[in-house]
């Protein structure tokens, strides 16, 4: 009789030690309009960190009270602590009387995740965060350029030198650089500001329902991605721009286009009308140029709530982006998500999402006649294309995809090895 063998007892598997995650310190120098590309990226970043990090402290300054207030609401929603630095000067100088980031956050813990957003007048923030990273080997640092390299941005020689030095330092020190688009990553690499680990994250183009807190009239907030049921029939050209960046946003091209539109209307031909949304100009000269454009028939709507902005996308016949420099240009994606064809210069995200003849037109150069022909082509497309198909063309840029990509990029830095 054969002996019965006892089944071998497998040794109990070891219980994995609990995962230790870093707390996060997010430095946001001078936030801009909270519905701009930076504003939406910022709220997404706060939301992801609030969910993934055991503790989050957000540090910003008080140069723009409205934006600081919006950031405060986003931080509260994510359960993050907000520290507002008050009294920072406009220039690239850190007042010794203002507490340093390290002490403001209660002292830097040995294993904290540091995150900093780029801003051309805020080299001090990048320098200070880099100093914390270098002083604490257990810390990790993620940098979000968001803009084009400084070589393409107007600034004084002294400021350019300081900003370039700070950016070269953060590219060397950062554990991760997260770019908004492939075009932005290529521009930074070409400038010699590539980092040891650089990734591109898709930024969502849809306005989320919880953001639409001010519906137009009595209408319910629009559903993200819900394109109009009918095709466009008018000739309204929409732009979302910061009027304080006149040349970079191509407003000098718009001046010549508006003059031609006025002449066309006077002769009874095309009735193209330009609508501009965005911050009002701070300088008297730009304000005067806006008044001249208004006399030529351009409508300036100023700052809009997100509900009003999305409604503007839905009502426009074409969205126009003739900027000379863009790292991303979120309104291009938002307009497409609303079913609105786009006429754009092939920069930023535009080459990745605009398919000529299907959802828009790509146009290069400075010739206003060329831009006028592109707008005419865009208007013809608006009258024949299916808005639902235009909206579907940017489906991969939905908010949940953007959040997942961002969480995946930051995940390894949040875990203590």
- pLDDT of the residue at 208: 46
φ/ψ of 346, rounded to 5, equals -75, 65
Residue 248 clears pLDDT 80, i.e. is over it: yes
Spatial CB neighbours of 358, under 8 Å, sequence gap ≥ 6: 385, 389, 390, 393
Instruction: Tell me the two tokens of residue 8.
Output: 């071998």
Q: Return the CATH fold of 23-204+398-414.
A: Rossmann fold (3.40.50)
- Topology alike, domains 23-204+398-414 and 209-396: yes
End-to-end CA distance of the chain: 55
Strands (E), 39-187: 56-61, 81-85, 112-117, 140-144, 176-179
Superfamily of structural domain 209-396:
Glycogen Phosphorylase B; (3.40.50.2000)
Place of tokens 């730009």: 286
Least confident of 103-107, 128-132, 174-178: 103-107
Give residue 88's Cα distance to chain centre.
24
- pLDDT of the residue at 38: 66
User: Would you kindly state where each structural domain of the chain is located, as residue ranges?
Assistant: 23-204+398-414, 209-396
Residue 306 clears pLDDT 70, i.e. is over it: yes
Residue 249 clears pLDDT 90, i.e. is over it: yes
Residue 283 CB coordination number (10 Å): 11
Gap between the Cα atoms of 327 and 32, Å rounded = 15
Residue 329 clears pLDDT 90, i.e. is over it: no
Which run of H or of E encompasses 295? helix 284-295
What pLDDT band is residue 95 in, cutting at 50, 70 and 90? very low
Residue 351 clears pLDDT 50, i.e. is over it: yes
Residue 288 CB coordination number (10 Å): 11
Is the torsion defined by CA of 375, 301, 316, 393 positive or negative?
positive
Gap between the Cα atoms of 261 and 329, Å rounded = 25
Edge-to-edge, what's the strand order for the sheet holding 198-200? Answer: 81-85, 56-61, 23-28, 112-117, 140-144, 176-179, 198-200
- pLDDT of the residue at 14: 57
Residue 414's SS3 state is helix
- The more confident residue out of 276 and 65 is 276
Least confident of 137-146, 202-211, 225-234, 294-303: 202-211
Q: In this predicted model, what pLDDT tens digit does every residue of 45-84 receive, in sequence order?
A: 888 888 888 888 888 777 667 677 777 888 888 888 888 7
Q: In this predicted model, what pLDDT tens digit does every residue of 196-239 receive, in sequence order?
A: 677 766 665 555 433 333 333 333 434 444 545 455 567 999 99
Which run of H or of E encompasses 130? helix 123-135
What pLDDT band is residue 15 in, cutting at 50, 70 and 90? low
């Amino acid at each position: 009789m054969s002996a019965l063998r006892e089944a071998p007892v497998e040794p109990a598997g070891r219980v994995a030690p609990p995962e230790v995650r870093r707390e996060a310190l997010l430095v946001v120098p001078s936030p801009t309009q909270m519905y701009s590309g930076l504003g939406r990226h910022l709220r997404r970043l706060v939301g992801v960190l609030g969910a993934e990090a055991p503790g989050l402290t957000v540090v910003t300054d008080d140069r723009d009270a409205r934006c600081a207030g919006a950031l405060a609401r986003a931080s509260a929603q994510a359960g993050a602590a907000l520290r507002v630095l008050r009294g920072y000067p406009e220039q690239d100088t850190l007042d010794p009387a203002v507490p340093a980031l390290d002490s403001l956050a209660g002292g830097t813990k040995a294993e904290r995740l540091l995150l900093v957003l780029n801003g051309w007048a805020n080299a001090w923030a990048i320098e200070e965060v880099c100093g914390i990273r270098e002083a604490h080997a257990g810390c990790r640092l993620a940098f979000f350029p968001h803009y084009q390299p400084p070589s393409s941005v107007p600034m004084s020689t002294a400021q350019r030198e300081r900003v370039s030095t700070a950016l070269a330092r953060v590219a060397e020190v950062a554990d991760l650089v997260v770019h908004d688009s492939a075009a932005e990553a290529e521009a930074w690499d070409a400038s010699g500001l590539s980092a040891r680990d650089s990734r591109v994250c898709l930024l969502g183009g849809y306005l989320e329902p919880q953001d639409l807190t001010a519906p137009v009239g009595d209408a319910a907030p629009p559903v993200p991605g819900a394109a109009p049921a009918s095709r466009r029939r008018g000739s309204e050209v929409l732009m979302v721009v910061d009027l304080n960046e006149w040349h970079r946003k191509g407003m000098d091209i718009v001046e010549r286009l508006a003059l031609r539109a006025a002449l066309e209307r006077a002769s009874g031909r095309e009735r193209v009308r330009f609508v501009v949304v965005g911050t009002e100009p701070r300088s008297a000269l730009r304000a005067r140029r806006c008044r001249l454009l208004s006399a030529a028939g351009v409508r300036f709507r100023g700052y809009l709530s997100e509900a009003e902005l999305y409604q503007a996308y839905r009502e426009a016949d074409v969205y126009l982006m003739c900027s000379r420099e863009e790292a991303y240009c979120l309104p291009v994606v938002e307009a497409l998500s609303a079913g609105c064809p786009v006429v754009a210069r092939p920069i930023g995200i535009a080459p990745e999402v605009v398919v000529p003849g299907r959802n828009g037109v790509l146009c290069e150069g400075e010739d206003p006649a060329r831009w006028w022909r592109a707008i005419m082509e865009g208007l013809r497309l608006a009258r024949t294309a299916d808005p639902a198909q235009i909206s579907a063309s940017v489906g991969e840029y939905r908010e949940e995809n953007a959040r997942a990509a961002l969480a995946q990029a930051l995940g390894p830095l949040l875990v203590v090895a």
